[in-house]
Amino acid sequence: MGIAINIFKKHDINLARELTAYLEIGDLVLGDRAFCAYSDICLWLKNGIDGVFRLHQGRVMKGKKKPKYTVIEEKNNQKKKKKKSSKYSHDSLILWTKPQDKPKDISQDDFDCLPQDLVVRQIHYYICIPGFRTEEITIVTTLLDALEYPAFEIIKLYDSIWSAEVNLRHIKTNARHGYINL
C-alpha cells in the first residue's frame, strides 16, 4: 500500500504514476479523463492492472463527433475492423493505434516499447437529471469481457468516483481555509 502527497498544483495522474509501483496484478485503476492516456493504459496492462476511465476529449476529433479510433465488430467469431464512424454501439470494443507523437512525460525508450495498437472497451451512456442538462458519458475500460463485467456494473463503479471527488474537494477546500487540520 502506498500514498502520494504533493502540493495542490500537481496533477493527480502524476501522483498515480508514482503509486504504480504499489499496484499488484489484478488491481483496478479508476480515474477521470486524465488517466485515459494510451501510454498509461499500456503500462498498467503490462503489469496486469486493469482500468476504468472517462474517455479523454483528445480521442474525439475537435468539432466533429467522429472518434479517432476503429470500432471492432464481432461477427461469426471473427473480428472485423470497421472504418472510423460517428455511429457506435453503447458497448463495443475499439482499437486504438499508438500515437504518432511521443508524450512529453515518458522517455523515448518507453514510447518505443509501447504496442502499435490496443483494444479497449467503450461504454457510452447518458445521465438524465430533471432540471439539468443531459450529460453524455463515454467510459473506456480494459475489462473487455461484457459477460464477466456487465456495462451497468462498470457504470456504477465509474459513477462512484463522483462521490469521492466531492468529498476530496470538501477536504481540500476546508483544509485550505484552515477549518481542518491534516
State the greatest distance between any 2 C-alpha atoms of the chain, in Å, as a whole number. Answer: 62
Q: Is residue 181 part of a domain?
A: no
85: in domain: yes
Position 83 scores a pLDDT of 42
Query: What count of other Cβ atoms lies within 10 Å of the Cβ of residue 154?
Result: 20
Phi, psi dihedrals of residue 147, rounded to the nearest 5°:
-80, -45
- Sheet of 70-75: strands edge to edge? 28-31, 50-54, 135-141, 117-127, 91-97, 70-75, 78-81
Collect all residues with Cβ–Cβ distance below 8 Å to 35 and sequence separation of at least 6. 12, 13, 16, 29, 51, 53
- Residue 39 falls within a domain, yes or no? yes
Residue 94 β-bridge partners = 71, 120
SS3 of residue 126 by DSSP: strand
Which of 147, 119, 109, 108 shows the shortest CA–CA distance to 38?
119
- SS3 at position 75: strand
Res 168: pLDDT: 72
Total domain count, the chain: 1
In a domain, 176, yes or no: no
Range of the domain at 40: 12-166
Question: What gap in Å lies between CA 126 and CA 60, rounded to an integer?
Answer: 17
pLDDT tens digits for the chain (182 residues)? Answer: 555 566 655 667 777 777 778 889 999 998 888 888 899 999 899 999 999 999 877 666 444 455 555 555 554 444 444 444 344 458 889 899 898 888 888 889 989 999 999 999 999 888 777 777 767 889 999 999 999 999 999 999 998 887 777 777 677 677 666 665 55
Q: Is residue 103 part of a domain?
A: yes
**Is there a domain that residue 172 lies in?**
no
- Element of type H or E holding 46: helix 38-46
Is position 136 within any domain?
yes
- Which residue type sits at 153? E
